Structure 1
Amino acid sequence: MQERPLPRPGSPELSILPSEAHKLLYRYLYDRRDNPPTMREIRAFVAERLGEAPSQTDRRVRDLRDHFDVRTVLFGGEHRYKLMGWSQTKKDGSRRALSQRTRAQVLSPQRCAQCGHSPLGHGVVLVVDHKVPREWGGTDDIDNLQPLCEECNAGKKAFYATYDKYGDAIQAAAMHPEPHGRIGELLKAFRGDWVPSDLIGVVASMQQYQEDWQKRLRELRLLGWTISSRRSKDPGTGRVHAWYRVEIWKQWPPGSIRAEVARLDPSNKRKNRD
């Protein structure tokens, strides 16, 4: 089936947008499809035309995603916003329901992917969860779906909501095919701000679970990255929280990051000499 073409700026189809400011933003993204802008460029454009605060512009980008697929892509080492096509999101913010066949396929393991509890053994109710949330660009593809019990699903939603303001950065980082890349792109996207270890662990495992994501993080230093860390103890729970930030980062090597890390790892060189 042929995809519905994007409407041209000024088209009556854009009457679905809530304001002229949204239509102006749409025109800008439409004209920049071949050279997608960064959020900094988007904010500067809207501020020049409308005198709008950055927070308002960010909200308008989210509003556009109710109707159009505005995807965060990594281009030239920066996160850019590319207008791809119509979104699967309806105006009321709901999505098309998953088919019964897809739901049955996702739930077929009969076990929560997070806690391991099952309906028969523990009396839990399983639901279909999006590994990368829809709000962060996650799709309904089977690879992005997993079974979670209702308790784990609620906890995950509460945890992810804490980082909604970084949704675009997380979405872009999650698209990298290698765990080193997902971790590195997340650190870069925070632009020197501290990134909580819990979030790094989640993003590192978004395409494939990483039991030892901390090792992948340390291995970035072999590529010339400078990463600092800090820790603090929660007086209430006694739990130690860790944060990381990147101070110096390098371009990714051509080919496999994992292969380049293995080549540079001094422990591997010692094994080869032995």
Structure 2
Amino acid sequence: MEPRPLPDPDSEELAALVGSTSQRLLYGLLYRRRDHPPTMVELRLFAAQALGEDQSQTDRRVRELRRYFDVVAERRDGEHRYVLRGWAEHPAADGAPISLRRRAEVLAPQRCAMCGRTPLEHHVTLVVDHRIPQSWGGSNDVDNLQPLCEDCNAGKRDYFHSFDAHADEIRKAISYDEPQRRIGALLAAFEGKWVRSDLIGIVASAKEYQEDWQRRLRDLRFFGWKIEHQNRHNEGARVRAYYRATAIAPIPDDIPGVIRAETARRKAAGAARSARTLED
């Protein structure tokens, strides 16, 4: 069987696969110099001159390309040279590519959705990010896409990679129709460990945006769940909120009906206590 041909550096196939312009340009250098592969010194010089980037970013960009392509360091003539051999043996399973039209639509705001930096003011490069990673079941629907600068995108990817051990459970949680069931399945998967609020919010909004996902989280208490909350002030400039379930219970089929019944029961119990207080 003939090996799968590599995409041309200017092709739509590469643009749909690799969202970063800088990575595509670096790929182009490796592609054009397959017969005389560059050294890391040359790659870093290219990053500084052609991309205007700090040379420390080059190693990370090569690692990112290796998600899709077989890029190896071979010793030739006493130097390590980076050879683009072909596709990776197991390319990253990122699902169907995003069309150029949709990519342009997502990037149109020209501002990073996380840090707010812009290409014109801050000289950052924006990429298309999946709010819910495709490996977790996220789609290419425009509601699941957002513009991120490369730094925020790399940080988000590293953060989400820390949950790889729970990927199957997260994928299952995202598949549920009700936000309460999605949140419950996520907390249960972590078996009493703390879960950061942004991950809960993402899973809660997997099928439709939840403006008040904290309320859906509190709904679990109607079913007998015990949930603890913690704020952490030592994780950068922002205060991070975490939640964990210390006791779980089955989630009923009729979630709205059980919530209404329990709310009515509690209201009646409160009224009865108030009446006894007045009598006393």
TM-score tier (shorter)? 0.5 to 0.7
Percentage of pairs with the same residue: 41
Aligned to 1:154: 154
Using the alignment, how far apart are the partners of 1:234 and 1:114 within structure 2? Answer: 19
What SS class does the counterpart of residue 251 from structure 1 fall into?
coil
| CA distances 1:105-129 after superposition (whole Å, capped 9, x unpaired) | 2222333233343334544322111
What SS class does the counterpart of residue 138 from structure 1 fall into?
coil
1:244 positional shift: 0.7
Using the alignment, how far apart are the partners of 1:114 and 1:247 within structure 2? Answer: 33
Change (3 A) 1:240 1:196: same
Aligned to 1:129: 129
Aligned to 1:100: 100
1:196-211, aligned counterparts within 5 Å? 196-198=195-197, 199-210=199-210
Asked if 1:261 corresponds to 2:253, the answer is no
Contact 2:252 2:258 in 1 (8 A): no
What SS class does the counterpart of residue 158 from structure 2 fall into?
helix
Change (3 A) 1:258 1:150: farther
Contact 1:225 1:246 in 2 (8 A): no
The amino acid that maps onto 2:92 is: G
Asked if 1:217 corresponds to 2:214, the answer is no
Aligned to 2:40: none
Aligned to 2:165: 165
Q: Which runs of 5+ in 1 are unaligned?
A: 1-65, 67-88
1:50-89, aligned counterparts within 5 Å? none
Aligned to 1:187: 187
Aligned to 1:227: 226
1:97 positional shift: 3.7
Whose Rg is larger? 2
Aligned to 2:117: 117
Aligned to 2:79: none
> What's the RMSD between the two structures over aligned residues?
3.8
Change (3 A) 1:123 1:209: farther
| CA distances 1:203-256 after superposition (whole Å, capped 9, x unpaired) | 22444554543332112112x2322426486778696763412523223333xx
Using the alignment, how far apart are the partners of 1:232 and 1:116 within structure 2? Answer: 24
Change (3 A) 1:163 1:126: same
The amino acid that maps onto 2:184 is: G
Change (3 A) 1:263 1:240: same
Change (3 A) 1:204 1:115: farther
What SS class does the counterpart of residue 216 from structure 2 fall into?
helix
1:37-56, aligned counterparts within 5 Å? none
Using the alignment, how far apart are the partners of 2:121 and 2:257 within structure 1? Answer: 42
Aligned to 1:43: none
Contact 1:118 1:124 in 2 (8 A): yes
Change (3 A) 1:228 1:213: same
Q: Which runs of 5+ in 2 are unaligned?
A: 1-67, 69-87, 272-280
Aligned to 2:250: 250
Contact 1:231 1:241 in 2 (8 A): yes
What SS class does the counterpart of residue 113 from structure 1 fall into?
coil
What SS class does the counterpart of residue 155 from structure 1 fall into?
helix
Change (3 A) 1:226 1:97: closer
1:162 positional shift: 1.3
Contact 2:196 2:241 in 1 (8 A): yes
| CA distances 1:247-270 after superposition (whole Å, capped 9, x unpaired) | 23223333xx45753564459969
Normalising by structure 1, we get a TM-score of 0.52
The amino acid that maps onto 1:176 is: Y
Change (3 A) 1:236 1:138: closer
Contact 2:131 2:202 in 1 (8 A): no
The amino acid that maps onto 2:138 is: G
Using the alignment, how far apart are the partners of 2:218 and 2:183 within structure 1? Answer: 10
